[in-house]
Amino acid sequence: MRIVALVPGGIGKQLLFFPTLDSLKQAYPEAQIDVIVEPSAQKAYSICQSVHETLTFSYEDRKSLADWGNLLGLIRDREYDVAIYAGQGLGIRFALWLSGIPVRIGYGGGQGEGLLTQTIPLNSNQYAAHTYHDLLQGVGIDQPCPDLSVKVPAKSLDWADAERQRLGIQNSGYVLIAGGMGQGSSSQAYPLESWKGIIQDFEHRQPDLPIVLLQGAGNSDWVKELTSAFPKLKVTAPDDIGKTIAMIAGASLMLAVEGDAMHLAVATKTYVLALFGPTMPDKLLPKDKRFVGIKSLTGQMADISPQMVLEKVWGG
């Protein structure tokens, strides 16, 4: 059996789709499972254990007839038996219908619903990974959604061991802070001064506890400001997702804004305290005492005070 899953969205959404792929592979171990994702999200699949090939398509860009033709050719050439679409766009539904794939599964509702052979009710009032997993009812899988898990490459674990040695934290626990990146709107931005208040309290209460900043694309200024204010801070800058998740897995606690790093913490069962603006935490965090979300009462992440965060950390 050849199966293709079409999953729009960034790395976070791909991670949330991993349990669906894992269940699919468990139910059909001999199946070849491919995914079609945004080019910027392709790197997520270096830590996925259930996918054969990762193909790319720009779902969000304005597409020409040539783009649609390329997608159709991509699908037809591989002669898939089943397609699972995790979105609701008319264009993709039409392309799947033109492809002639016998089983075309997607959510009900919206334009072009009739172009699918099986539709599943969209229940968005639950953890997003469970919403994706509901699609497997279309192939006769009606089991509970498994936990999000990933496959960390051995070379990434080796890198993280060396990195912790470089930072002088190989024999101790550490707090990892992932902030200042991936904040696409003002409602999802957490102020630098609030981070300073949190770090100051940590250094006062636990002066020997290492605090490590996670540096990635787009937050170098944030890192520079904080290390200037707090010289004891350590900085790690992994250059791929495998190394990032290996560093997260070694942390005793991660503080993060809603985003990719938060999902990686969930995948490694690392204790994480995540800050949310307008999004409800239970849509992006599973029910588990290791994963705590703090939602702004106003929908603006900046309105979460450092004291609210610290009360959760110290149990005050």
List Cβ neighbours of 114 (8 Å cut-off, separation of 6 or more).
none
Question: pLDDT, tens digit, for every residue of 272-312?
Answer: 999 999 999 999 999 999 999 999 999 999 999 999 999 99
- Exposure of 219 in the CB half-sphere (CA atoms within 13 A): 25
Question: pLDDT, tens digit, for every residue of 6-58?
Answer: 999 999 999 999 999 999 999 999 999 999 999 999 999 999 999 999 999 99
What is the mean pLDDT of the segment spanning 211-218? 92
Cα(165)–Cα(162) distance, integer angstroms: 5
Question: pLDDT, tens digit, for every residue of 136-180?
Answer: 999 999 999 999 999 999 999 999 999 999 999 988 899 999 987
Cα(215)–Cα(178) distance, integer angstroms: 8
Give the range among 72-81, 103-112, 127-136, 185-194 with minimum mean pLDDT.
Answer: 185-194
pTM value is 0.93
Nearest to 238 by CA among 141, 163, 153, 149: 163
Cα(151)–Cα(130) distance, integer angstroms: 20
Cα(206)–Cα(200) distance, integer angstroms: 10
Domains and CATH numbers, the chain: 2-139 (3.40.50.2000), 154-314 (3.40.50.2000)
Return the pLDDT at 104.
98
pLDDT band for position 61 (50/70/90)?
confident
